[in-house]
Structure 1
Amino acid sequence: MRRVILSTLFALCLMSSSSGCFVNMYSADPIRRYRQLFFQSQDLMLLEDDWERFWMINQPSQLSARMYNGLGDPAARIRPE
């Protein structure tokens, strides 16, 4: 029983000392790994586009300069009294 517990503790210490995931995410073949990294970076770029589209950051502003602060229109600077 002691041997099983010690071997289990040793295996846990060995696995917890490694950095990152125990199973490698990418292929060992350099060409295939390059393709995987390339596709992943493309997915992240598409995710950024989706984020901007969701929050409508990529759309032009519907506010005119006068409605926003009045600095764009010279007539808006003069306040009628």
Structure 2
Amino acid sequence: MRQWILGAIIAASLAANVGCFIPIYSGDPAVRTRQLIYTSENFRQITEEWERIWFLDQPSHLTPHRVHGGVI
């Protein structure tokens, strides 16, 4: 019984380290490249969205340069 439990624990630890059962990306190199490009583009847009939400893309009022806020 002890060997069976020990074997089950070892099998469970090995199964946890194998990886994902369902692969995220395709096995075809051309399709996988396209998927990785789309994923990296989405990650790039996340930072722009974060800056827009927190108004970090607005000009700072603490700059030494005068910024005209009105219509020219």
Same fold, TM exceeding 0.5? yes
TM-score, normalized by length of structure 1? 0.57
Unaligned runs of 5+ in 1: 66-81
Q: Which has the higher contact order (CA 8 A, sep 6+)?
A: 2
Give the gaps of 5 or more residues in structure 2.
Answer: 65-72
Identity %: 34
C-alpha root-mean-square deviation of aligned residues, in Å?
2.6
1:36 Cα shift?
A: 0.5
State the 1:7 CA deviation.
Answer: 7.3
So what's the TM-score if we normalise by structure 2? 0.63
Correspondences of 1:42-53 after superposition (within 5 Å): 42-53=41-52
Shift of 1:54: 0.8
User: If you compute each CA radius of gyration, which structure gives the higher value, 1 or 2?
Assistant: 1
Counting matched residue pairs gives 63
